[in-house]
Structure 1
């Protein structure tokens, strides 16, 4: 079957279609046609080279509503014969190419597939780097390309990839686009969003720029290159118990000048108490843990660990850690990727006017809790948090 396909991509979309790099990172604002482009890119690849291809979305619900729907639309518009299996989410083209729908919460579905290409739509919504790593691994055998299309929703593994691209990584082609570059997008809607949204949010969602969210708990922190911790320095740990959600441990050392260094981290789900004990017993240093997990505390103490209940005054503890950062008395080893990821997203809840409330967002905060437990309990002093008193007269 020989068929000419005609469509009119915008200039930045044309760059994506022409790229030969292993990873194409397309970061675009709202309405830049990311899903539209991803669907056409993957169909063209499947038509040019028969093989297996991956369609990845953050969730099954979003997959069915966007990428899966758009790919089927393209196939029909271009009159490409295909068969569909909606239950298993497989599209089989006339030339034998197979396209698999992969929700990001089930990356194991990619295993066993030697893919010739993959598109990862709205990847910035997925915090688990393992989805990207699995997809890229499944492409290695066939030397396939990975197209990532997204808005920069938050700082996570995608920001790391973005930074690597800015440094000139030879395998990554970074292509960006502002909403205004799509001549079809209503200009009045862009200006309305500019007026109504906080600047940081507008720049992320309409200009495709990574900006730190307004309301970060720790907006400024210092990262240093790792070094060997001297044996005579004071060492402590913070522990946030978990199982389904991650267990988090952070190791800290204090220099003679009074500067704390976070030098090691652990963040892992489905870690048993036995597993945790084997890790912690390697270095039996004072460990400050969530006081509400009394059974875990007692068990680890019976097994010989120096483990103590932490102070759990959240606002006072945060205030203390903020002070350490501001005074340059707390620094983070650059090797602590998961800690840095949490620092870049750990935020106060916002009200309807995007003003911070005295309550943190309980999401991706396990190491932040562990950090607070250790430092505030070991060194912090009790403080008062004043509440608003309302009196009716």
Structure 2
């Protein structure tokens, strides 16, 4: 990703000037250099802390704090000898940084503010501030009640109407805040290949936010890059599958139950270079309203397992079975039924926005193709839209309609991303 890990003049300036206000916010495109600059500023703040309050790192979850903050701080190539002074046991809610105890706080919903209520905080470092509930942010500010207290935060842009932009960035002076804005061009150490990979990974509002560094409302069709001429393939023409990665299942009683099968194929070009793509090869749906009959979990399991036993690939291919059954996390009773019937399932990653971003990335890069045996998904994809009322409130939410096959495919793709991402390259 990096050709050399040196700080730019803009990064250095932001580190120095971050002390001018109580709140310092680094915002902008992915890989613009904002997080590295903020990390250095945080290390300096920890070193200079007077010990009058707690030091905390806040993120959406403990896992995202570890991935986005702790792991980079431990990279010797970025932080030299300082990396050895960042100590953390995976899964622990504390770390030792430069000899100081640092508390790691996940803030994934409004109830999370209870974790810091009553605390006195001297240094707070917030990862991805736009993902925090506004109530948590406001509670955090009330905890910064010593004269030396500071808040450092990083984020990618969000909705044009997001509370962080409307209430704080546009009133920075009144809020005792300084804002540093970064774009990818501010990071000269990025390689051309990495920039190409990133530009191929996003489209629409996500491209505006993560590549251009702009605050942008999500509007209209969610997968506006969908093109049947580009993204469909006849089932009979499927290339040999390397594996069937997963079946994603969205469970419904009154609503449809949908199952989408995700495969991956790798082909070699004339120069011996391998190219992998993902395929939605097959689909199963049961719609109780259309069938005028609700099924019990027992019967639903029987029909799903019967479908799983059918051939899902053309006759000229080896008939594979999916490695994972990825199930709607709300489908507790159905999970138990499947287990009783001998079918183990994995709980789906239901981070909706990240999942949508993942699906959009592979579609935008032309790395996801869909066969005619997935009619439910193809029907829904043009009807799956952003909720305009949520956008007005600064929130990114899809309309809860025409989403059953969409959710099933998203579960399969998002939950298994660590498996296929090492093979599927998104550069154009």
TM-score with structure 2 length normalisation? Answer: 0.45
Q: Structure with the greater relative contact order (CA < 8 A, sep ≥ 6): 1 or 2?
A: 2
